[in-house]
Structure 1
């Protein structure tokens, strides 16, 4: 049976949500998914949201209706997979702890803005990152508040150059976990659409979305 994915996008334009959502849609279609891509949060209030095998938010700093959020959480808890990247999933609904609990973390800062940093794979035997290895990356280095129950697949270490008190802090970059009956995947990489040209970033996200899908 063909798997179905819903991608909803919008919010802060600096993350190029429309362009990024198109890249994700192409990625999933190449894997055989039947995709639906919608701007805004209204789609989250529709009946039968649980018909989707995967939901991908590509939306930053947005507000969501109470009923829309409750419908989304119920669908994920019942088994619809959730997967995404950077602020498009890690800073989607900043005012809603119920959403953040589901994701497993929340963006709070990126000291120094765009800079060079290192990604270290922490579980090289995990199929989501197997064979990829550590790599250098140029983007925002996300500082997140994270759930201690997540399964961390990759980390980055803060130098403290731009926020001295963070020196030596090891921060999760890629993780997975369970929420109710669902699989949830997150990667902090992918500030703008051009970052999909980095093969490690794109491959980790591809594998993660496929894993998260019911």
Structure 2
């Protein structure tokens, strides 16, 4: 049986505990044995090297050097990591080592909660099978992203809330490798209720299963 660790904490506005429960249920439905820990201390434990998957849900906050060093070593050796929105894409702002793993970092969400479109750029990829472009109501993340990411979905900014980014096409969903470990990220999922959106939920569920060894 594959084993997964969810670590949650950080800014409460992203409902990390509630989202951890949603993802725990999702992974258990996919036959994972799931461990849930509050805070980042578990990331320093050598036992994470035996996991199949790690899911961070820790917006902002800080990570200790020994924690990120152990996390990076575990993923480089083959443990997968799957994250979403600020829980993974705006976690540990001071840790460039962590950002190197995830492949991006949040920098803005112009207009805050708005309506926008998610465009599927790789409909041939199994993670996107059967999913078409869809409307979304949430924060539209503007991110600094790694050019080595394999982008699966994007969004286009209108410039209504920041005129200088009109027409910018921004990655929303990507996958990548970090050593032998698979990395999956989706910028969707501001609060737990967004997991009720079928496309969002399906994309994350497939991404997490893909990332897990």
TM-score tier (shorter): over 0.9
Match of 1:172 in 2: 171
Distance 2:124 2:48 in 1: 34
Instruction: Give 1:48 shift.
Output: 2.1
Residue deviations 1:96-139 (CA, integer Å, cap 9, x gap)? 01100110100000000000000000000100011110000000
Q: How does 1:1-40 map to 2 (within 5 A)?
A: 2-40=1-39
Match of 1:90 in 2: 89
Distance 1:130 1:181 in 2: 25
3-state DSSP class of the match of 1:128?
helix
Distance 1:120 1:130 in 2: 13
Instruction: Give 1:49 shift.
Output: 1.4
1:54 maps to 2:20: no
Distance 2:38 2:65 in 1: 18
Instruction: Give 1:45 shift.
Output: 1.1
Instruction: Give 1:148 shift.
Output: 0.4
Match of 2:102 in 1: 103
Instruction: Give 1:168 shift.
Output: 0.3
Residue deviations 1:53-88 (CA, integer Å, cap 9, x gap)? 000001100101111110001000110001010001
Match of 1:139 in 2: 138
Match of 1:203 in 2: 202
Structure 2, unaligned runs of 5 or more: none
3-state DSSP class of the match of 2:127?
coil
Number of residue-to-residue matches in the alignment: 213
Per the normalisation by structure 2, the TM-score is: 0.99
Distance 2:105 2:93 in 1: 8
Per the normalisation by structure 1, the TM-score is: 0.99
Match of 1:155 in 2: 154
Match of 2:121 in 1: 122
Structure 1, unaligned runs of 5 or more: none
Which structure 1 residue ranges, 4+ long, deviate > 2 Å from structure 2? Answer: none
